[in-house]
Amino acid sequence: MAAMRGDGVVGKGIIEVEGLTVRFGGVTSLDDMSVTFEAGTCGLIGPNGAGKTTFFNVLSGFVRPAAGTVRAFGEDLLSMVHFRRARWGVRRTFQTEQAIEELSVYDNVAMIHEHSRQRGASRRQDVLGAIAFTGLEADAFARVGTLAAGQRRLVEVARAVVGRPRVVLLDEPAAGLPDDETRHLAEVIRRIPEQAGALTILVDHDMSLVSACCDTTAVLDFGKLIASGPTAEVLRDDRVIRAYLGTAEVA
């Protein structure tokens, strides 16, 4: 899948995290986390407060880790200023959807494109292509504030895939969506790696969504990585079941 990328990316299409530690005062949100995400769509799951969003915030540059390194495609991600990471190719969606309400769908997506590595000449085509990719059934010049929740989520996905991203981080994209819209979203997410050529990391509590989209999955619990590997195996892992459901007797 990584071979579909047209531009000259240096290094391998993977994210290597080593010894990543984040502390907020006395709380250790991420504790010596080491994991490798490979090309395709990877899941990142764990109970509430496990450190999933903190990990995304480290990748976005909002949180400075106390220790550890993150190498993405062979480059040191942590040395980049937050807004430059987006230009480099890190995209993310937020737990609470953050499409810009007062702008049109087109402007929402175009805004990301104009701060990406892509040239302006192909902007219109790229932006409309990204919107079409998500299967959004709304006028491209409608104000996002007038759209329904599921449509806004698709706008966010279009923002995440436009302009050749390298890494797409999806933070609970299906939260609050009805089942049929979640199924459509799963279909879209599964196609992101081929469409955009980006390594995609999906955080979600919906295990059916994670199993549907992700070949591999990593599990965090209280800031520690407790399992990683092929999704089906990870979800059968005793430690993972215990982390989610409590002790085995209770389960």
Partner 1 sequence: MAGTAVADASTRQRSPRRGRPATPTVTRAVVIAALFLFVLLALPQLMTLYYVDTMTQVAVYAMVALGLGVLVGRVGLVSLGQVAVLAIGAWVAARLLFATSQPFPLVLLEAGLITMAAGTLLGLPALRLRGLYLALITLMFAGAIAIVLDTTNFPNGGHGFLGYNGSLVHIPPIRRPGIAASDPAYFRYSVVVAALLFLLAFVHIRTRPGRAWAAIRQSEPAAMAAGINTTFYKLWAFALASFITGVAGGVYAGAVHYLYSLDFPAQDSIILFAVVLMGGAYSLWGAIVAALLLEFLPALLQNWGVSADWLTILFGIGVVLTLTTAPAGMADQVPKDLARLGRLLRRLATSGGGAR
Q: Which two tokens stand for residue 228?
A: 């990683």
Q: Do 140 and 104 form a contact (C-beta atoms < 8 A)? A: yes
Is residue 43 classed as helix, strand or coil in its secondary structure? strand
Amino acid identity of residue 185, one-letter, is L
For partner 1, which residue of 2, 9, 100, 177 counts as binding (CB under 8 A)? 100
Q: Does 92 bind partner 1 (CB under 8 A)?
A: yes
Beta-carbon contacts of 65 under 8 Å, excluding residues fewer than 6 positions away, are 20, 21, 22, 30, 58, 78
**With CB under 8 A as the contact rule, which of the stretches 4-12, 19-27, 86-94, 236-244 interacts with partner 1?**
86-94
Amino acid identity of residue 175, one-letter, is A
C-alpha 224/C-alpha 44 separation (Å) is 12
Shortest CB 95 distance to partner 1, Å: 11
Q: Does 78 bind partner 1 (CB under 8 A)?
A: no
Other Cβ atoms within 10 Å of 164 Cβ, number: 18
For partner 1, which residue of 50, 70, 110, 199 counts as binding (CB under 8 A)? 110
Pick 115 or 239: Cβ nearer partner 1: 115
For partner 1, which residue of 6, 79, 102, 180 counts as binding (CB under 8 A)? 102
Shortest CB 85 distance to partner 1, Å: 8
Q: Does 119 bind partner 1 (CB under 8 A)?
A: no
User: Closest by alpha carbon to 27, among 59, 62, 9, 54?
Assistant: 54
Q: Which of residues 3-42 bind partner 1 (CB under 8 A)?
A: none
Dump strand ranges (E) for 83-233: 90-93, 167-171, 199-203, 216-221, 224-230
Shortest CB 164 distance to partner 1, Å: 12
Q: Which two tokens stand for residue 112?
A: 């990301």
Shortest CB 231 distance to partner 1, Å: 26
Q: Which of residues 122-181 bind partner 1 (CB under 8 A)?
A: 128, 138-142, 159
Binding site for partner 1 (CB under 8 A): 60-62, 82-87, 90-92, 94, 98, 100-103, 107, 110-112, 114-116, 128, 138-142, 159
